[in-house]
A and B are shown apart, each in its own frame.
Chain A
Amino acid sequence: MSILDKFAGIQHAHDALTALGIDPLAVEFDAMTSPCEGVIDGRKVLILGSNNYLGLTYDPAVIDRGVDALRAFGSGTTGSRIANGTYRGHKELELRLAGFFGRRHAMIFSTGYQANLATISTLAGKDDTILIDADSHASIYDACRMGNAQVIRFRHNDPADLAKRLKRLDGQPGEKLIVIEGIYSMLGDRAPVAEIAAVTRAAGATLLADEAHSFGVLGRNGRGAAEEAGVERDVDFVVGTFSKSLGGIGGFCVSDVPGFDILRLVCRPYMFTASLPPAVVACTLAALERIATDPSLRQRLAANAERFYRGLEAAGFALGPQISPIVSVRLSDVSMAAQFWKALLEAGVYVNLALPPATPTSEPLLRTSVTAAHTSAQIDKALGVFADIGTRLGAIGT
C-alpha cells in the first residue's frame, strides 16, 4: 500500500501510452532557435504547440529590457508584494496595464493561474454564487474549490442556459459572479461575450472574463474578446496572463470597480507568494509596449490562423468551430491521436496531444497554435505533413 495508490488508474493510462513510445511529458526542447522553432533530440522541429501568439519571446527590445533589469535589480525579489516584493517595475506594469485596458485599477500576480485563483476565490464569498462555463480552464475550477461560494456550471457558450440558471437563483441572497473565457484553450472557440454580458446585466450579476488566450489577439487594440464584441464596459473584471501573447510569465486583473485595491489585502494567492522577478516585469513592460503600438502583429497572427485553419479544413480534418490562433484537430480515438502526434514529431512538427477527460468532449485533440512569427512557408509545410500523416493513418480521405 502506498499513499500514491489512488493514482493507479492515471498511471496505468500513462503507461499504456509510453509503451507505444509516446510520452508528451517526456518531450524536452534542447534548444530554441526562434519563437516557433526548436531542437528536440538533436532534430530541428517546427513548433505549432505553444501559446507564443505574437512571437515576442525573442523580440530584441523585450530581451534588452529584461537584461537591463536583471543587472539593475537582481535575479528575484525574494518576497511577496505585501512584504519586500514590490519594486518600481511592479507598480509601473500595473499602471501600464490599467492604461492599456482603459481601466482605473490593475493588479499583477506571479502566474496567470494565480490571477484566476486569487480573484475568483476572493470575489465570491460564502453567501455568493459563482456561475462558470462548463469548459472553463482548470485554474477557474481550482479557484472555485479554493473559495467558499456555491458553484454552478452552465453549458459551454450558452447564454440561454446561463439565464435559466440565474432565474433558478431568483430570491436567493448573495452576489452572483459569472466567469467566462475570451477564447477557450482546447478548441479555440470564442465566448459570445455580448450575449453573456446582456444576461449578466439583466440579472444584476458581476461578470469576470479571463482573456488569457485573447489578450493581444482579439479586438482592434488587442484588449480581447470583450473589445471585439464591443462590450468592454459590461465586463467588471478582466483577468489575463503574460505567458501567452506577451511571452513571459505572470497574470493580472484590471477593473473599474471602486475600492478594487482592497483585494491586495484579502487575495491570498497575491499576498502569500513571491512577486514577479524584475527581469520578467521588464520584459512584460516591453512586450506590452510592442502590442500597444504594433497592430501588424495581430494582423499577421490572424492571417496565419486563417491560412492554417483553411488548409486543414480543405484537407478534410475535423476542427474546432471557429478560426482562431488555436486550431485543434478532432480525432476519433486516442490510439490514432497518439500515433498521429508521434508521427508529426518524427516529421519535425511539434503539437500538443490533448486526451479526454481533459478535452471538452470524448474526442482526443491534436491542439495546435500558430503565431505571428510563423512564415507562410512554415504553415504550408505543416499542412503538408498533416495531410500526409492524416491520409496514412486514415484520419482523412476515408
Chain B
Amino acid sequence: MLSEQDIVEVIVTHLRERLPPDTAIGPQSTIMGDLGLDSLAVMNFVMWLEENFDISVPMDRLIEVETVADLARVLHSLGAQKAS
C-alpha cells in the first residue's frame, strides 16, 4: 500500500503535467482555489485517480477534501494500491 506522501507525489506530478507551468503545486494547495480546477475537472481527475490507484472513491468522501494533502489522505484511507 502506498504512503500518503507517495500519493501526494503522484497527484502533484499529474497536475504539473496539465496545469500552466507557473502554477505552484504542493500538499497545501487548494484544488478548486489555488489550482483553479472547476467541478467538472475535479470529477474527471478523481476518475483518473480511481483508475490509477485501483479504488472507488465514494462521493461523500470528497466533501472533506480541499487540498492536495486532504485528497491524498482520503485515497490512502481507501487503500490506494499502486501507481501505474
Contact = CB atoms under 8 A, between A and B. Distances in A.
B60 A151 contact: yes
A213 to B, nearest CB: 21
Interface string B36-52: 00111101000100000
B40 A362 contact: yes
Interface string B52-81: 001111111000000000000000000000
A357 B59 CA distance: 17
A361 B38 CA distance: 12
B40 A152 contact: no
Given A134-B47, A155-B47, A357 B39 contact: yes
Contact of A152 (B39, B54, B56): B56
Given A151-B60, A153-B43, A168 B38 contact: no
A268 interface: no
Given A144-B59, A151-B60, A152-B59, A357 B38 contact: yes
Given A153-B47, A155-B47, A356 B56 contact: no
Contact of B59 (A151, A169, A359): A151
Interface string A191-217: 000000000000000000000000000
Interface residues of B, number: 13
Contacts of A273: none
B58 A150 contact: yes
B35 to A, nearest CB: 15
A300 B41 CA distance: 39
A165 interface: yes
B47 A168 contact: no
Contact of A356 (B38, B47, B55): B38
Interface in A330-364: 356-357, 359, 361-362
A234 B33 CA distance: 44
B42 to A, nearest CB: 9
A150 B58 CA distance: 6
Nearest to B37: A357
A168 B56 contact: yes
A165 B47 contact: no
Contacts of A168: 54-56
Nearest to B61: A150
A81 B84 CA distance: 54
Contacts of A361: 40
B46 to A, nearest CB: 8
B43 A134 contact: yes
B40 A150 contact: no
A156 B13 CA distance: 26
B58 A152 contact: yes
B40 A357 contact: yes
Interface in A74-102: none
A357 B38 CA distance: 7
A224 B42 CA distance: 32
Nearest to A362: B40
Contacts of A150: 58, 60
Contacts of A134: 43, 47
A362 B36 CA distance: 14
Contacts of B43: 134, 153
Contacts of B59: 144, 151-153
Contacts of A152: 56-59
16 contacts: A134-B47, A150-B58, A150-B60, A151-B58, A151-B60, A152-B56, A152-B59, A165-B56, A168-B54, A168-B56, A356-B38, A357-B40, A357-B41, A359-B40, A361-B40, A362-B41
The 6 closest A-B pairs by CB, nearest first: A357-B40, A151-B59, A150-B58, A152-B56, A357-B38, A357-B39
Interface of A: 134, 144, 150-153, 155, 165, 168-169, 356-357, 359, 361-362
Given A150-B60, A153-B43, 6 more contacts: A134-B47, A151-B59, A165-B56, A168-B56, A359-B40, A362-B40
Interface of B: 38-41, 43, 47, 54-60
